[in-house]
Amino acid sequence: MKKIQMVDLVSQYEKIKPQVQTAIHSILEKAQFINGPDVHEFKGELGSYLGAKHVIPCANGTDALQIAMMALGLKPGDEVITPSYTFIATTEVIGLLRLKPVFVDCEKDTFNISPKAIEAAITARTKAIVPVHLYGQSCDMEAIMKIAEKYDLKVIEDNAQAIGSDYTFSDGTVKKTGTIGDVGCTSFFPSKNLGCYGDGGAICTNDDDLAKQIEMVVNHGQSKRYYHDVIGCNSRLDTIQAAVLRIKLKELDRYIDARRKAAAFYDEQFKDVEGLTIPFRAANTKHVFHQYTLQLSDEIDRDALVAYLGEKDIPAMIYYPVPAHKQKMFASLETSSGILENTDWLTKRVFSLPMHTELEQDQLEYICKSVKEFIEK
């Protein structure tokens, strides 16, 4: 049995190695490192895959979120509703721009932001909502968009963990996550479902005017060279990363299928294990399993389980053990949070098993056997 990895990028690379090497060699020969042809081709290809009118690449997923908020014209003191149970980048950029993070609770089953909690947190200062499609499952976007329309709020989707996921509305309309709100932001960090071989990100929108504003912000606020209309930044996806992403985008649906197959095996093995709750799937979404995250009952010692798996050479991760509303970084900022019961419970009771495109049957069987051994002993 091969060594089990939390994410096995080496084995994934071996399957596309010739294409990657040819693409990178071509870029090196032409020395088109910045804004080369692959960047422009990737924009169109990703837009076609997502069904997004505009794709603006950038340097990373954190920049994508910051640039979206800048382009939407949010001002210091404006309130932005966000889940506390998320990677810190989602909320970090709110503080960086001196906006006010308003932390709200998530749903216990999906781990995603609660629409009821969103509506309860809205004030006269609220300007935007940031739903995070956590671990690969879409938020309840129909409910969130209705709230946004009712209160005239902007919606910035954090799609870093769910690229390729479908969301079906009650009328049968199907859209990809990241294309439903005013703007969608994603990361191409190497471990993501669509990852490059360095840092990278992208911003998607179907709004022509917003796209123009985003394009200025990512490029020093320029409307044309040396004419700077707004405060911007320098955030680019380099040509080599775009070339890698073009190759991997063609494989994305296959990658998603492999993740879902591994998740189905985990489900079958764990569905009747007392004390374990397998990931919930909303009926109208396609879970793409960036992570496979289990909930443990109070009777199971999570730290002891993770340590036991480590002794068996099985990596397991506890993601986001300290929710954003309890992080020291926000101590000096004006924030708001109510009682986040589900958030606080989940940070103490969840853990994630290896999840990637290259998991093999013997690895999956060994992982499941080891988890059950600990729980049932």
Asked if 87 and 62 touch (Cβ cutoff 8 Å), the reply is no
Return the residue matching tokens 């930044």: 233
The secondary structure of residue 75, as a DSSP letter, is: -
355: nearest Cα among 291, 271, 283, 261: 291
Asked if 214 and 71 touch (Cβ cutoff 8 Å), the reply is yes
Kindly provide the b/e burial profile for residues 18-39, where b requires at least 16 CB atoms within 10 angstroms of the residue's own CB: ebbeebeeebeeeebeeebebb
Alpha helical stretches, state H, 31-140: 37-50, 61-71, 89-96, 115-121
23 CB-near residues (< 8 Å, 6+ apart): 38, 243, 244, 246, 247
CA distance 261 to 324: 32
- Rg (C-alpha) for the chain, rounded Å, is 21
Between CA 185 and CA 331, with CA 102 as vertex, the angle to 5 degrees is 105
- pLDDT of res. 54: 98
Return the residue matching tokens 């939390």: 6
CA distance 98 to 131: 19
79: nearest Cα among 153, 173, 187, 182: 153
CA distance 353 to 65: 28
Beta-bridge partners for 277: 295
β-pairing verdict for 201-205 and 54-58 = antiparallel
DSSP secondary structure letters along 150-167? HHT-EEEEE-TTTTT-EE
Asked if 110 and 162 touch (Cβ cutoff 8 Å), the reply is no
CA distance 307 to 104: 31
Asked if 291 and 275 touch (Cβ cutoff 8 Å), the reply is no
119: nearest Cα among 338, 297, 272: 338
DSSP secondary structure letters along 311-322? HTT---B---SS
Q: How many Å separate Cα 274 from the centre of its chain? A: 30
For the beta carbon of residue 301, count every other beta carbon within 10 angstroms: 12
pLDDT tens sequence for the chain (377 residues): 999 999 999 999 999 999 999 999 999 999 999 999 999 999 999 999 999 999 999 999 999 999 999 999 999 999 999 999 999 999 999 999 999 999 999 999 999 999 999 999 999 999 999 999 999 999 999 999 999 999 999 999 999 999 999 999 999 999 999 999 999 999 999 999 999 999 999 999 999 999 999 999 999 999 889 999 999 999 999 999 999 999 999 999 999 999 999 999 999 999 999 999 999 999 999 999 999 999 999 999 999 999 999 999 999 999 999 999 999 998 888 887 778 999 999 999 999 999 999 999 999 999 999 999 999 87
Kindly provide the b/e burial profile for residues 126-157, where b requires at least 16 CB atoms within 10 angstroms of the residue's own CB: bbbbbbbbbbbbbbbbbebbebbeeeebbbbb
69: nearest Cα among 44, 42, 98, 110: 98
CA distance 325 to 49: 35
Asked if 72 and 183 touch (Cβ cutoff 8 Å), the reply is yes
DSSP secondary structure letters along 110-166? T-SBPHHHHHHH--TTEEEE--B-GGG----HHHHHHHHHHHT-EEEEE-TTTTT-E
CA distance 133 to 55: 19
